[in-house]
Amino acid sequence: MIFSKKSVSQSFNQNITSEKPIRSVIKALSWRFIGTIDTLIVSYLITGKVSLAASIASIDFVSKLILYFFHERIWNQVKWGK
């Protein structure tokens, strides 16, 4: 299939300048899963209590998920490096 230079250039620029919000959500969830496991382990090693470690990890998961999502959306608007 042959594309005109203009249509290829336009679709490439669209892909390079923006991410859909759902992509940011999935990235945030996958990263937070890894981060939460780390927090759970470290919290357990420090406290020696599974319930306290789970509480810390739960709060960490929610707060950092929200922060990461907005961080991604803001950086998506920055033109530098694209």
Model pTM above 0.85: no
Residue 63 in any domain: the answer is: yes
Q: Are 64 and 37 in contact (CB under 8 A)?
A: no
Query: Which residue segment(s) compose the domain that 56 sits in?
Result: 22-77
Residue 47 in any domain: the answer is: yes
pLDDT tens digits, one per residue of 9-50: 555 455 566 778 888 788 878 888 999 999 999 999 999 999
Q: Which pLDDT value is given to residue 47?
A: 97
Residue 13 in any domain: the answer is: no
Q: Which pLDDT value is given to residue 12?
A: 43
- State yes or no: pLDDT of 51 exceeds 70: yes
**Structure letter (DSSP) for residue 4:** -
Burial 18-47 (b: 16+ CB within 10 A, else e): eeeeeebeeebeeebeebbeebbeebbeee
For the chain, what is the domain count? 1
Residue 9 in any domain: the answer is: no
Cβ count near 52 (within 10 Å): 13
Residue 58 in any domain: the answer is: yes
